[in-house]
Amino acid sequence: MHRRFLQQKRLQSSSTKNLIPIRTSLKGAGLLQQPVLNKGSAFSREEREIFQVDGHIPYDVHSLEKQMVRAYAQFKRQPSNILKHAFLASLRDQNQILFYALVSSRLKEMLPVLYTPTVGEAVSQYSDLFRRPIGCFLSLPTAHTMREQLQSHANAAFRYKYPPGMKNSDTERPFDIVVVTDSEGILGIGDQGVGGISISTSKAALYVAGAGVDPNRILSVVLDVGTDNHTLFANPLYMGYKHVRTRGVAYDHFVHQFMMNIKELFPGALVHFEDFGLNNAARLLETYKPVLPCFNDDIEGTGAVALAATMSAIGVTKSKLCDQRIVVYGAGTAGMGIANQIRDAMIEVDGLTLEEANSRFWCIDRDGLLLKSNPRLQGSQHDYARDDEEVRDWTREIQEQPNLRILDVVKAVKPTMLVGCSTNARSFNEDVIRTMAEHVERPIIFPMSNPTSLVEVDPADANEWTDGRALIATGSPFPPAKNPITGKDYFIAEANNALIYPGLGLGTIASRSSKMSKGMILAGVKALASASPALEDPDAPLLPDLAGVRKVSLQIAAAVVRQAMEEGVANINLKKDDDAIIEHIKFGMWDPVYRPLELEPEDLTSD
């Protein structure tokens, strides 16, 4: 049995996998309405006859390529990015293959529409633009039937049925990945109530387009516990639970009920937490890490991509991680995630002690520089809070500031690296950047806040104020900046977690791991850093282009699988050999191609 499976696996591991027929009993209008199976004008003559599609569609048969030409022209005709986003959502709802084929073929152009920054608008205008629901809406008042609601999604998810003898992707659990948000901290735009579903569906789309995860094996969820957003309350069209945001015991109970249902109904599935609020994100991750495979994209994904960009930058500056003096501006979910990830790497790579590594960071939040005397410190902030004594050594001019702001800290610390996760637009002003650049040859500057309007500094400005010396990475996509000295374009690395989470997720599910460990994340970071264009050319971007994420994801996933096997958390029977690992991952990847359709045998006999 096992040998036969391996033989089939070998047979199917090339592109022939895409030619395995799918069995269905759907016909006619029913078939056209199933986005997973619908081919629209691409149903072949034979399929049209067998599946009674004739009459439901114009006569001519079109290839997927021709359909993409038409869909792209329609996309281009949409007058704004938000309408382009809505167009793509409709396409996804009609024909899943065409949607992913189009998006994958033009990732560079489509990503900013499908994802950041446009997804921010899609979330905030969700109730106004609503057409058809995609995803799973778990609302607090209907918590008593949560299990049935999740089960109903599992039942409704399309499952491929391959002919006997072929591997069936319908394995023991209905979903491999569950992307969930409670919408309290969407990007930098805060509480967005039920509209947060669009961040979940958008992150899910990137697992597919960016890493080849099967779209039918991802569940996108919003936990609707109410909202404190007054604009949403004032909107008569608002579609969520109109109630102040539930907090405390009732909130924790609801989240716990959700997590326990996932564990029981979808055993081993990876839970991807997205855009939870500051008071919950780290706490929930810590609570559930030991319970089931889970991952917080804003903490771990952002930390991971920032660490990869940092490794790449220190390759250019020819320095070590432990040589960096790092100012983190905005000590929240993402800021602390980044500090923790870089700090842990200083320990692992450079052999620093925890204390030594912590001492390389100066973190600033609303109250200014985090000091040990501050009674409002929370979570990881305690690790990085500076001794009040230290500040007493700073110049009188700095000490006399009411609370230490970014410019004061930059003057005193002379950082090599400045990271922004504050949502405070344009806070890295000319003074801050010029002061930093006075003391360091190649200032490393990562304004990470999203969407575009919230960026701490426009990379074009940072580039100009540093005479083109800055090594820059941003959270949202930006056009290249001109080097004021050489006149050459400097391409800005997009340090968005989307460059790494799809690969981390793919590696975790491909290894069927019982968790996503720190070691697995670090392995993924190293794989991403080793794909940096700046390794070859110091004037090239610090990270590979997000448009090439699918290729990078495979390398990241392979590193993750290898590490999972080494740590003994993987649940697969595979040789620890790079080719075997890559082959195994590729085998499980989903491609947007039309597979031949075959009628269920019972339908054949009953006809």
Ligand X SMILES: O=C(O)C[C@H](O)C(=O)O
Ligand Y SMILES: NC(=O)c1ccc[n+]([C@@H]2O[C@H](COP(=O)([O-])OP(=O)(O)OC[C@H]3O[C@@H](n4cnc5c(N)ncnc54)[C@H](O)[C@@H]3O)[C@@H](O)[C@H]2O)c1
Residues at the binding site are: 274-275, 298, 450, 496
Contact between residue 274 and residue 297 where contact means Cβ atoms under 8 Å apart: yes
Give the residue with the Cβ less far from ligand Y, 176 or 365: 365
Q: Could you tell me the sign of the dihedral formed by the alpha carbons of 268, 269, 272, 273, in that order?
A: negative
Beta strands in 153-217, from DSSP E residues, in sequence order = 177-181
Find which of Mn ion, ligand X, ligand Y, none residue 335 binds, CB within 5 to 8 Å per kind.
ligand Y
Helix residue ranges, H only, 291-387: 302-317, 333-350, 354-358, 381-384
Smallest distance, Å, CB 474 to Mn ion?
15
Specify whether 115 is catalytic.
yes
Q: Could you tell me the sign of the dihedral formed by the alpha carbons of 191, 196, 202, 208, in that order?
A: positive
Known binding-site residue numbers for a divalent metal cation: 274-275, 298
The answer to whether residue 298 forms part of the interface with ligand X (CB under 6 A) is yes
The answer to whether residue 366 forms part of the interface with ligand Y (CB under 6 A) is yes
* Residue 136, both tokens: 């799973």
The answer to whether residue 494 forms part of the interface with ligand X (CB under 6 A) is no
The answer to whether residue 496 forms part of the interface with ligand Y (CB under 6 A) is yes
* Residue 224, both tokens: 């609707």
116, 124, 183, 416: residue in contact with ligand X (rule CB under 6 A): 116
Give the residue with the Cβ less far from ligand X, 258 or 501: 501
Q: What is the DSSP letter of 55?
A: T
Q: Which of 203, 411, 515, 526 is catalytic?
A: 203
Q: How many angstroms separate the Cα of 108 from the Cα of each of 216, 355, 479, 526?
A: 24, 42, 12, 24
Find which of Mn ion, ligand Y, ligand X, none residue 421 binds, CB within 5 to 8 Å per kind.
ligand Y
Known binding-site residue numbers for (S)-malate: 450, 496
Smallest distance, Å, CB 419 to Mn ion?
16
Smallest distance, Å, CB 399 to ligand Y?
20
Give the residue with the Cβ less far from Mn ion, 110 or 448: 448
The answer to whether residue 365 forms part of the interface with ligand X (CB under 6 A) is no
Give the residue with the Cβ less far from ligand X, 71 or 187: 187
Q: How many residues bind ligand X (CB under 6 A)?
A: 9
The answer to whether residue 300 forms part of the interface with Mn ion (CB under 5 A) is no
The answer to whether residue 187 forms part of the interface with ligand X (CB under 6 A) is yes
What is the rounded CA–CA span in Å between residue 553 and residue 548? 9
What is the rounded CA–CA span in Å between residue 551 and residue 549? 6
What is the rounded CA–CA span in Å between residue 15 and residue 46? 23
What is the rounded CA–CA span in Å between residue 583 and residue 320? 35
Strand partners, 273: 180, 296
At residue 49, the 3 state secondary structure works out as helix
Give the residue with the Cβ less far from ligand X, 116 or 192: 116
The answer to whether residue 335 forms part of the interface with ligand Y (CB under 6 A) is yes
Amino acid sitting at position 271: V
Contact between residue 157 and residue 175 where contact means Cβ atoms under 8 Å apart: yes
At residue 471, the 3 state secondary structure works out as strand
Q: Which of 115, 241, 329, 490 is catalytic?
A: 115
Smallest distance, Å, CB 342 to ligand Y?
14
What is the rounded CA–CA span in Å between residue 588 and residue 506? 9
Q: Rounded to 5, what percent of the chain is helix, strand, coil?
A: 50, 10, 40
Q: Could you tell me the sign of the dihedral formed by the alpha carbons of 447, 452, 457, 460, in that order?
A: positive
Per-residue binding string, ligand Y, 181-210, x by CB under 6 A, is ----x-xx----------------------
Smallest distance, Å, CB 333 to Mn ion?
8
What is the rounded CA–CA span in Å between residue 119 and residue 194? 14
The answer to whether residue 298 forms part of the interface with Mn ion (CB under 5 A) is yes
First to last CA, the chain: 34
Residue 574: burial class (beta carbons within 10 Å; 0-12, 13-18, 19+): middle
The answer to whether residue 452 forms part of the interface with ligand X (CB under 6 A) is no
CA-nearest of 387, 389, 426 to 406 is 426
Give the residue with the Cβ less far from ligand X, 214 or 298: 298
Stretch that binds Mn ion, among 51-59, 65-73, 292-300, 599-607 (CB under 5 A): 292-300
Per-residue binding string, ligand Y, 293-332, x by CB under 6 A, is -----x---x--x------------------------xxx
421, 481, 534, 585: residue in contact with ligand Y (rule CB under 6 A): 421
Q: How many angstroms separate the Cα of 223 from the Cα of each of 149, 227, 231, 258?
A: 12, 11, 19, 9
The answer to whether residue 423 forms part of the interface with ligand Y (CB under 6 A) is yes
Smallest distance, Å, CB 132 to Mn ion?
24
Specify whether 100 is catalytic.
no
Q: What is the DSSP letter of 435?
A: H
Smallest distance, Å, CB 131 to ligand Y?
26
Active site residue ranges:
115, 203
| Interface positions with ligand X (CB under 6 A) | 116, 187, 275, 297-298, 450, 475, 496-497
| Interface positions with Mn ion (CB under 5 A) | 275, 298
| Interface positions with ligand Y (CB under 6 A) | 185, 187-188, 278, 298, 302, 305, 330-335, 364-366, 421-424, 448-450, 454, 475, 495-497
